[in-house]
Every structure is written in structure tokens, then in C-alpha cells.
Structure 1
């Protein structure tokens, strides 16, 4: 009797006859084109990120940003500036086509078109090649955007003397100012102004610093009665004599700052 005689084998087409082990491909078959995600690719990413981070920290330590004092809403001559990463948009608003009646064009339409184009760049140039010559549209749009941001940031930063600006608006340490609690004006300040302007006139969340103020005694008296900016009128309800004592106290403290 022959082996297998009278037997029939039935196969299921849903099951593959060839068994393939669950092992990733040998990437050596494709030299220079593919690599392992872990650890090869991630290691390169981490190395590049570390170099950038260390360089950025070194730059911050070598050239720390000059800090200004507490914002004073009563100072109408102060010109606020955005952070450095928004200076290019700030510079853009100086041009005639993006300012004045065309401000909406400068703050919405132009930036929207620019960033929208960068988002669409991969879809507009979807070729398989990764080299810059094979991705002309995406590379040209990226270089144009990068050059525009660098140029506008440089133009905006070069027009500002940062050291002089920081010196003019430098913070005044309250510890360097002695407060005479025996001064009759201090009791009036304590009951009317301390909650907003701080114990040492250094300012707080609700009110600006009164140290180094450029207001005259008459202006301070008017502000105390009528208010200014976010300060409503009627915050001080004392007599004229108490108001004079309060103003004298503030001016006396500011003589130490000068």
C-alpha cells in the first residue's frame, strides 16, 4: 500500500501557505536610503537638539536680555515692544501697505498667506526626492519665508538701542529706598494707596510703581483726585491737607531714587 493512497488534502485560501517570521527587514539591503528608527534616527535628532539647546543657553548666559522696570500705564511716552520672536511682525506694520487703513492687511492677511503657504508647501511639491534640487517649490518657499523673517527682525532690532532703553526703564529695587513710617503722609498712603502700589511704592498687580515717577507734585495731586488710565477717580477722598501730606511723602521717597 502506497503512502497517502486514498487521502485528499484541503487548503484554506484565507491562510497564507508561506509563513514569514515577524522580523524587520535587513536594512543593509538598502544602504544609504533607510535606517533603524531606534536608536539611529532618534540619536541623531537628540544630538542636533542638544547642540542647539546648549548653544542657545550659552548665548543667553553670554548676552542676557536687559530687563526693564514694572510697566507704568501712566507713562504716555513709553513705547512698548514685542518679544524678539515677534519683532518681524512689528516691523511689518511700519510699512505703508500694512499700517494705517491697511492694518488688517498687515496683521491678518499677509501673515495668514505666508504661514498658509508654508503649510501647503509639502502638498504643492510632493515629489519622492528629498534633495533640495528635487523639491524646488518647497525649498524656495521655505527660503523666502526664512529670509523675510530674518531681514524684518534685523531691521526692527537695529533701530532700537536696547542698552539705552533698558537703562531708561531699569527696575528700581525697593530695598534701596527707605520708607519713613513716621512721616504723616505715610499713614495716608497706607490707607489709600498701599493696596495697589505696594508697601515701598514698588507697584503691584493693581497699580504701577511710584518710584522714579516723572510727574510733578501738582500732577500727582490731580491724579490722586481724578485718576488716570486704569485708576478711577475718587480713589482718594481725604482733605486738601492730607492730600498735600501724601504728595510730599511720595516726592520725598522719590528724592532717594534720583
Structure 2
């Protein structure tokens, strides 16, 4: 029996005692000054580094909190959910005709499954020991193709999506008390304003109407002539002037706390 530093090596009768065993590592005692105890030296250093990263992560979290949206409303059919950036490529893929509608299964399962399966099979199809990319055309081509597809689909999704509308839809909105039996709300719901601006003025296809800061005259003008930013088209109001006045005063009252 041979004794090492903190370890015991027991001889095996099936192995010849004579002859050197090249695969047996040297004892740590042969490297003075180059080793240290696992406890507490090494483990303490690991904990210190981990603590630094944890504290830094917490500071970033507090300084830049997650951009939360309003509480989910299952009755809001106007809300269009958008995935996080790393799933935008799949989101864009499902917009194409060959991967949407009746072919949704192709875009959701078949095409991603083929892509992932091909990447998993690359190590088995390419057994070369060469490490240079240009000497390994098959895996290099697969990786470049996957990167190009992800980059293009993500770019298209970002460019073609109305992020301003998505931000408005998901914004945490202020709630306001109002009388659903009032004449102003009856005109609001009867004039189809509720379709775009929501039954609680939370917005949808149209902008929220709570705390807009607009005056009665400005609200009436937008209802008839539309808004300058194009968020509301002109010619949608088809009621009387008296009804428009009542409606404008009702919406203006929503600005008050």
C-alpha cells in the first residue's frame, strides 16, 4: 500500500508490480507551492467570486427593473401578445402563408424539428478531427445557415411589427371611476367608440382615454377630424353636435383624479 497526500492508493493483484504506469497521475506532493486545500482556501475564493456576481446582478435588477405590462385580461380580444426577442424568429415564421393557418403545424413543429434534428445529427455525419471551419464544410454550412435564418427572421419581425402600438397595449393603465348609466357613456358605447377604446377606456385598437390632458374642444375636434398623428381617422363621428358635446365633456372628465 502506498500513501499519498490525503489519499490512499491500493495495489491490484491483477496489475504487475514491475513496470511504470504512464496513466497514473503524480502525487500532489510533487508540486510544492502549486496546490492548496479545497477547504477553506479554494471554496472560499469560489464563494467570494460568486457573491460579487450575485450582488452585481441584484444591483442591475434594481436599477433596471423588468418592463412589466398590465394585468392579463382574457376578455381583451384587441391585445396582441408578442414573444421575447429570442422567440421573434419563430413568431415571424408563423406569419408566412406556408407556415400559418391550416399549415400552422408545419411552422410550429415540422420546420423547427427538422432544423434541430439536423443540428443534432451533424456530429455523427462529420467525424473529422479537423478543427478549422473551412476544413469542415458540412457543420460550418449548417451553422451559417441556422445563424442566417435566425438573424433574418428576427430582423423581419422587428421591422414589420408596430412596437409603438404593442407598448400602448401592454402599458399599465390608470383606472378611473365613471358612471356606466350616464348619458356620456351611453353615447360612447352607442357610437362604437367602445370598439377601439375599450369598455373602460383602456384602449385597444385606439389609444386609452384616461388622463389624456385634452380639453373638451380638442376631444370634439379629434372625434370629427381625426388626430394629426394618424392614430384616429377623420369622419368616424356620425352623431349630432349635442351628443358630441356631451361625449367630449364626459371624456374630459376622465382626466380628473
TM-score range, shorter chain: 0.3 to 0.5
The structure showing larger relative contact order (alpha-carbon pairs under 8 Å, at least 6 residues apart) is 1
| TM-score (ref. length: structure 1) | 0.47
| TM-score (ref. length: structure 2) | 0.47
